[in-house]
Structure 1
Amino acid sequence: MSSVSVNSQGRSATFVLVHGSGSNAFMWAPVQRELALLGHRSYAVDLPGHGFDAHYPVAYQAPQDLDAWAAVPSPLAGVTLRDNVDHVVGVVRKVAEHGPVVLVGASLGGTTITGVGNAVPQLVDRLVYVSAWSCVRKASPVEYMTEPEFGASLLGELAALNVGDPAALGVGRANYRTADPELLAALKAAVMADGTDEQFLAFLNILQPDESLAVMTADARGHADTWGTIPRSYVRLSEDRSLPVAMQDRLIAESDALTPDNPYDVHTLRTSHTGFLLDPTALTAILTNLPL
């Protein structure tokens, strides 16, 4: 097999990059720059309701009115995992006209790329999970969050970041514009402990506050006869305190048990949940040398 950049027919691949919860295509800019310098095509997706379609009410701005913001309806409340999958399938259909497709998902983006693998396995040449949810036994990330392997996650310490009633809003709403130093320190420890305070705040300011509960709780399991037929890789992030490495390893093991003839190709980076963005050369080196 040749490297992922060119397949056996001499056609170069396109990397389709899918973000996680509360994020958008902007997060992939460091990775895309490195891929471009190496001569590779990439397409960073904005999932429905993300990017320039994100919802930033006036009450979220400064000075903030948290009580008012807690009652503001969110357009993301109607967004489902199927909406995300259908959107990315449309992207994959277009880029597949130009050669092989390598579909990369980070964090919650793993549920979307799994759904795409179920829907159009013939159009995806490799799936890559970057510390991402790859569900096969339990239906959703929320179900896995009660398991012992998730115990090292620091996300549970961030309840004070939440605004409004998720059940009533239909979204998880996080105040990423908080100025509370203790809350900011806890959030940094959870998502970017290996960055400077300045880097962490810069990352925080590209995030959007709402994420659909329906996406996080939908059945996101990969199926052996569709998703399970696609070659796949997992990039473990050993210092991740959002999706702990013990849970990453469980997800890998369960997937490999489902498709023992098509196990994960596993790589490890010593970074936090988003630390791979601070020095993207390590991730791009993995991506551009995967077998295709």
Structure 2
Amino acid sequence: MATGSTPLLFLHGYWHGSWCWTDVVARVAAAGRVAVAVDMAGHGLRAGRPECLSRRPYDVGAVATEVSPVAGVDLDEAGELLVAQIKELGRGAPVTVVAHSMGGTVLTRAAQQVPDLVAHAVYLTAFMPASDVPALACAQLPENEGDMVAPAVRADPAVTGALRLDLASDDPAYRQRLRDAFFNDVDPAVADAALALMSPDAPVGIALQSTTLTHEGWGSVPRTYVTCAQDMIVRPALQQKFVLDADIAFPDNPTSVVALDSSHSPFLSMPEQVADIVTKLG
């Protein structure tokens, strides 16, 4: 398949679903590219909602202790699902995969497993962990100081098996913190619609496992990192560390970098720019 004509597969991050790529996919398709957005394991149509968040009266104790329906989902499962989705879209030919946020660690796993099927790995302000480093460890690095989503988590993931957001909260201050974390440059009406579509539980197992990277595997796949200067979840210093660590480990295959002046969610705030970037990558 010629460069510039490979199918594009879009993978979202924690708490989101394939819905978040709607505006980008529409523009990519209008440019003549085959494109599809998929749901990550434990998200979208594969998500589970804990009863405690919709039960009234609100039970703080249940929110903190109810085990998540997606507690058993881990990086092994998420990686296997993405590989299957890549194979289905490409039908044996390589696919360009664009991953956002925690979707990046799933893309890394899939690209290590089937490097011949990933024509280009695109990390949109995404986790791109070094070999044998879990994404959760990256999120806790000093380079991620100022992350606004960690303080919004409503339960201990070791108890619930998930990173739980109270998306049904009627606390105006809490809801504003979520908007500021995810959508600080997105139209308020669109941000509220996105919050209503998000899944409250993100399976922590995806962030707890790691992938051993090799030169023949992930290290051989062309990659681009799209930085987002206003990101309040994957902080700019952490984005830069991902690129630096990858280039030190695999200097013969350096990371291309494209910069956006956006929040954590450029697929909503500047879908034209995102579509333009990915359609030019092959």
CA displacement at 1:70 relative to structure 2: 4.2
Give deviations 1:198-218, integer Å, cap 9, x for gaps: 222111111001111211111
- Give the alignment of 1:21-40 within 5 angstroms: 21-40=14-33
1:269 is aligned, of 260, 263, 267, to: 260
Q: Residue 116 of structure 1: SS of its match in structure 2? A: helix
Residue 257 to residue 64, structure 1, CA distance change in 2 (3 Å): farther
Counterpart CA distance in 2 for 1:76 and 1:285 is 34
- Unpaired stretches in structure 1, ≥5 consecutive residues: 1-5
- Aligned partner letter, 2:2: N
Contact 2:163 2:201 in 1 (8 A): yes
Whether 1:145 and 2:118 are equivalent positions in the alignment is no
1:73 is aligned, of 53, 64, 67, to: 67
Give deviations 1:240-271, integer Å, cap 9, x for gaps: 01101111001001001111111111101110
Give deviations 1:55-76, integer Å, cap 9, x for gaps: 1244433746334454443231
Contact 1:108 1:132 in 2 (8 A): yes
CA displacement at 1:93 relative to structure 2: 1.4
CA displacement at 1:194 relative to structure 2: 0.8
TM-score by length of 2: 0.92
CA displacement at 1:156 relative to structure 2: 3.8
Whether 1:101 and 2:95 are equivalent positions in the alignment is yes
Q: Residue 77 of structure 1: SS of its match in structure 2? A: coil
1:88 is aligned, of 72, 75, 82, to: 82
2:2 is aligned, of 3, 7, 14, to: 7
| Identical aligned residues as a percent | 28
Counterpart CA distance in 2 for 1:64 and 1:121 is 50
What does residue 19 of structure 1 align with?
A: 12
Contact 2:233 2:264 in 1 (8 A): yes
Residue 75 to residue 57, structure 1, CA distance change in 2 (3 Å): closer
1:44 is aligned, of 37, 43, 56, to: 37
CA displacement at 1:53 relative to structure 2: 2.6
Q: Residue 76 of structure 1: SS of its match in structure 2? A: coil
- Unpaired stretches in structure 2, ≥5 consecutive residues: none
Contact 1:14 1:99 in 2 (8 A): no
- Aligned partner letter, 1:283: V
What does residue 126 of structure 1 align with?
A: 120
What does residue 61 of structure 1 align with?
A: 54
What does residue 253 of structure 1 align with?
A: 244
2:164 is aligned, of 163, 170, 173, to: 173
Residue 155 to residue 165, structure 1, CA distance change in 2 (3 Å): closer
- Aligned partner letter, 2:234: L
- Give the alignment of 1:221-232 within 5 angstroms: 221-232=212-223
CA displacement at 1:275 relative to structure 2: 3.4
Contact 1:136 1:223 in 2 (8 A): no
Between stretches 22-31 and 54-63, larger displacement belongs to: 54-63
Counterpart CA distance in 1 for 2:209 and 2:71 is 13
Counterpart CA distance in 2 for 1:275 and 1:176 is 21
CA displacement at 1:224 relative to structure 2: 2.7
